[in-house]
Structure 1
Amino acid sequence: MHVLITGAGGHLGRKLFDALEQEGGYRVSGIDIRPVDHPNIHTADLAEGADWTELFDGVDVIVHLAGDREPAATWASAIKQNMDATLTLYHHAAIRGVKRVVLASSNWIHGDKRFTDDRLDSNTPPGPVNAYGMSKLFCERTGAYFATHRGLSVICLRIGWTQWTHDNRPGPHMAMGRWGQEMWLSDRDFLNGMRCAINAKNVSFAALNLMSDNPGMRWDIDETKRVIGYRPKDGSAARVTTKIALTSWLKSILTVRIPKLIEKRFPGW
């Protein structure tokens, strides 16, 4: 199987590239916006032109990790690097006979649920609160379109938090308090989930959570287990300090309870 990884020189991309290359059973190539010291990782900007599309010839699965990964991404960057680039990738993948795209989606699709108690699964209504989250929702929905109308299998993985610091160890040092800790994803669970998505059979379209099996988290990974055979090996309960608990309580009041009270008192305000 020929797997092409976009963003292959990045934090997650290089981990996956090296793992697939070392274990064998795959032919692995990559694309990155910056030069990478590897003969099979090619330099290209997916948001500029289409001279890179010949790299899709003979590819079975594209793992699309490239793009602006920052929650604080500007609209200009999110549109160009995430929306436009992904739409172009889907188009040329379908033309050149790629069977599947595994899309790196994001938990920010449910950013508005951070201070609620909602269960988070594929049926939970989206609520992106920034340009980054909106761009990932766009990429999921266009993926669904290409699955329905162009026969391209698309699996969107709403990837949890694999830190590039602290050796990716979970704990209260992680930003975003309990929310951040509960979406922790270990390196081996990330690699396992990606392999499962690459190899899954009979999946036309799916949008799935990819976190480790963290006790008490609100993300549902049962569907991920059922649809692609994901079996997490790790998990860590959130360690909620007094500061984290107080911050979460205050933000819940400001972002959830007060707006609901205002809407109840002044409908349509």
Structure 2
Amino acid sequence: MHVLVTGAGGHLGRILFDHLEARPEFKVSGLDIRPVDHPQIHQADFGADPVWADHFAGVDVIVHLAGDREPAASWESSIRNNMDATLALYHHAAEHGVSRVVLASSNWVHGDKRFTDDILNRQTPPGPVNAYGMSKLFCERTGEYFARYRGLSVICLRIGWTQWTHDNQPGPHMAMGLWGQQMWLSTRDFLNGMMAAITVPDIDFAAVNLMSDNRGMRWDITETKELIGYEPKDGGSPVNTLSIRIKSWWCKMVTFSAPRLFARVFPDW
């Protein structure tokens, strides 16, 4: 099986690329916007002319990790590097006979649910709160279109939180309080989820969560287990310190109470 990894020079992209390269049943190649010191990782800008599509010839599965990964990404960058780039990638993947695209989506698709009690699964209405989250929702919806009308299998993984620091171990050092800790994704489970999505047969379209099996989390990974055969090996136990509780209370007040108070004081604003 020939797997092409976009964003192969990034943190998660290189982890996956090296994991695939070490397994004899896979042929692996990669694309990245920056030069990478590896003969099978080629430079490509998905927001520019699609000369990069030539690398899709003979590819079975594309794992699409490239794009602007920052939650604070601007609309300009989110449109160019996430929306337009992914739409072009779907189109050229279908044209070249690629069987499947595994899309790195994001927990930010449900960003508005941070201070609710909703269980987050495929039936939960999306609610992105920033340009980045909106761009990932767009990539999911266009992926479903290509699955329905162009015969391209698309699996969207709403990835939790993998860290570049702390050896990617969970704990109160993580931002966003319990919400952040509960979406922790170990490196081993990231690879488990990706390998399941790459190899599972007979999936037209799916958009599922990819987190480790963390205590108390609201991200439902039952569907991920059932649909693609994901088997998490790790799980964290979030720590709710006094500092975390204070920060969460303040953030919740700013998010919900302050706008309502402003509307009452200035009803005609």
For the criterion TM > 0.5, the same-fold answer is yes
Aligned residue in 2 for 1:61: 61
1:163 paired to 2:163: yes
Runs of 5+ unmatched residues, structure 1: none
Opposite residue 24 of structure 1, the aligned amino acid is P
Computed over aligned residues only, the root mean square deviation of the Cα atoms, in angstroms, reads 1.9
1:195 paired to 2:177: no
Aligned residue in 2 for 1:241: 241
Aligned residue in 2 for 1:113: 113
Aligned residue in 2 for 1:218: 218
Aligned residue in 1 for 2:13: 13
User: Residues 99-128 of structure 1, C-alpha deviation per residue, up to 9 Å, x if partnerless?
Assistant: 000000000111111111111111111111
Aligned residue in 1 for 2:122: 122
CA drift at 1:254:
3.2
Q: 8 Å contact 1:65–1:103 — kept in the other structure?
A: yes
Identity of aligned residues (%): 70
Counterpart mapping for 1:97-112 below 5 A: 97-112=97-112
- Given the two structures, how large is their TM-score scaled by the length of structure 2? 0.96
CA drift at 1:261:
8.4
1:96 paired to 2:96: yes
Q: 8 Å contact 2:176–2:248 — kept in the other structure?
A: no
User: Residues 22-73 of structure 1, C-alpha deviation per residue, up to 9 Å, x if partnerless?
Assistant: 1221000000000111110001111100111110000000000000000000
Q: 8 Å contact 2:61–2:101 — kept in the other structure?
A: yes
2-structure distance, mates of 1:256, 1:220: 25
1:145 paired to 2:145: yes
2-structure distance, mates of 1:173, 1:258: 27
Aligned residue in 2 for 1:28: 28
Opposite residue 7 of structure 2, the aligned amino acid is G
Flag the 1:262–1:120 CA change in 2: closer, same or farther, 3 A: farther
2-structure distance, mates of 1:119, 1:256: 20
Aligned residue in 2 for 1:251: 251
1-structure distance, mates of 2:186, 2:8: 19
Q: What is the SS of the residue equivalent to 2:22?
A: helix
Q: What is the SS of the residue equivalent to 1:51?
A: helix
Runs of 5+ unmatched residues, structure 2: none
1-structure distance, mates of 2:221, 2:259: 30
Opposite residue 58 of structure 1, the aligned amino acid is G
2-structure distance, mates of 1:144, 1:132: 19
Matched residues, number:
269
1-structure distance, mates of 2:199, 2:31: 21
2-structure distance, mates of 1:263, 1:225: 44
